[in-house]
Structure 1
Amino acid sequence: MMKAVLCLVFSLLVLSVSSYSVKRSFDPVIKTATIIETKDITDPDFVIPCPVKPTEETYFLYYELHGEQLVKNTLLTCDEYTPGGTHPTPVPACEEIMAIDGDSSKLSPAHCFCPLKKYDPITVNIQGKYKGNHFKFLQTFENPCIFKCVTKPIEHFVTIGLGLEE
């Protein structure tokens, strides 16, 4: 009995240490994008670098570009019991992506009312796995209003730190 308890405690310790090291490998970076980073984020063939492969069946890596400001190296993990990673709002983000069953084609609202037609693009590049299947979401939005309107059903999932004002 004592051996089983020690084994369980050791297993939990190893699991929490490995989870911690995965999270430490993903320290989000907010910076001015280089020309190469700006080109990469909009390239459909670009693969977001992954310093440590998460063990969860559902995980996402993020790049978000608004003007010259880039937010990168953000991780969201959505396991059954504890959503996590370095995403600023992991619980609602995981709930939102689960609600649309990982299908980004469900993001087409009937009408977006955006009074200002100013061109101020936002590009979102999210890659990973959803329930073990490859997932990719790459889209450039004309401005913050359209970004917020189109992504409303998954607003927590897609927004990782640009602090977009209405």
Structure 2
Amino acid sequence: MSLPRTAVAAAATTAALLVLGSPPAAADELQGPAGGPGGTDGRFFLTVSGAQNTWIRGVQLSCPDAGGHHPHASEACTTLHRAKGDPGRVTGAAGHQCTREYDPVTATAEGDWNGRPVVWHKTFPNPCALDAATGPVFRF
């Protein structure tokens, strides 16, 4: 007996919230006061899912110690530090070219940065566009 995809996606989201203990916030919006000066202090549960939640994968990323299970943790932490913990401010590599294939993927980041809760998600037209826009952060 297999579980419906929505049940699997809901279970993954619930597990992420329980692991991180972050309060919910609006998508594409950061809440709370600005982080402390010069510190890179964050913990995220990052996910990437296919169209209509046909598949989902996720990893935990902890900064500054580049902990968690992210295969490019150090680079992802550096990138998020430059963006002040806001995945929406991450800039990918210039000149990264992608095809116009439409195979949407949704990226999410839930956790905290310098004590500030972060909940962010965005849908990209395909995995290449995600990689071009977010660099190593969602490269897992």
Q: Same fold (TM over 0.5)?
A: yes
Equivalent runs, 1:70-85 vs 2, <5 Å: 70-72=56-58, 74-79=59-64, 82-85=65-68
- 1:134 and 2:117 equivalent? yes
Unaligned regions of 5+ residues in structure 2, if any?
A: 23-39
1:53: Cα distance to partner?
5.2
SS of aligned partner of 1:87 = coil
How far apart, CA to CA, are the structure 2 residues paired with 1:137 and 1:125?
6
Q: Is the 8 A contact 1:122 1:143 kept in 2?
A: yes
CA distance in 1, matches of 2:122, 2:6: 18
Task: Assess if the C-alpha contact under 8 Å between 2:88 and 2:120 holds in 1.
Answer: no
Mapped partners of 1:104, 1:65: distance in 2 = 16
**Which residue number corresponds to residue 121 of structure 1?**
104
**What pairs with 1:90-109 in structure 2 (closer than 5 Å)?**
90-107=73-90
2:45 paired with 1:35: no
Asked if the contact 1:92/1:156 (under 8 Å) is kept, the reply is yes
Partner of 1:65: 49
d(CA) in 2 for partners of 1:33, 1:92 = 35
Distance 1:52 1:58, change over 3 A: closer
Structure 1 residue aligned with 2:69? 86
> Structure 1: which 5+ runs fail to align?
1-31, 161-166
Once the two structures are TM-superposed, the CA of residue 137 in structure 1 deviates from its matched residue by: 2.0
When the two chains are superposed, the root-mean-square deviation of aligned CA atoms in Å is 3.3
Letter in 1 for 2:119: K
Give the % identical residues.
22
TM-score, normalised relative to structure 2: 0.65
Identify if the C-alpha distance between structure 1 residues 33 and 141 changes in structure 2 by more than 3 Å, giving closer, same or farther: farther
Q: Which of 51, 60, 73 is equivalent to 2:19?
A: 51
Structure 1 residues 93 and 112, CA, compared in 2 at 3 Å: closer, same or farther? closer
Q: What is the alpha-carbon distance in structure 2 between the residues aligned to residue 112 and residue 159 of structure 1?
A: 14
Give 1:159's aligned residue. Answer: 139
- RCO higher in 1 or 2 (8 Å CA, sep ≥ 6)? 2
Q: Is the Cα–Cα contact under 8 Å of residues 33 and 69 in structure 1 kept in the other structure? A: no
Q: Larger C-alpha radius of gyration, 1 or 2?
A: 1
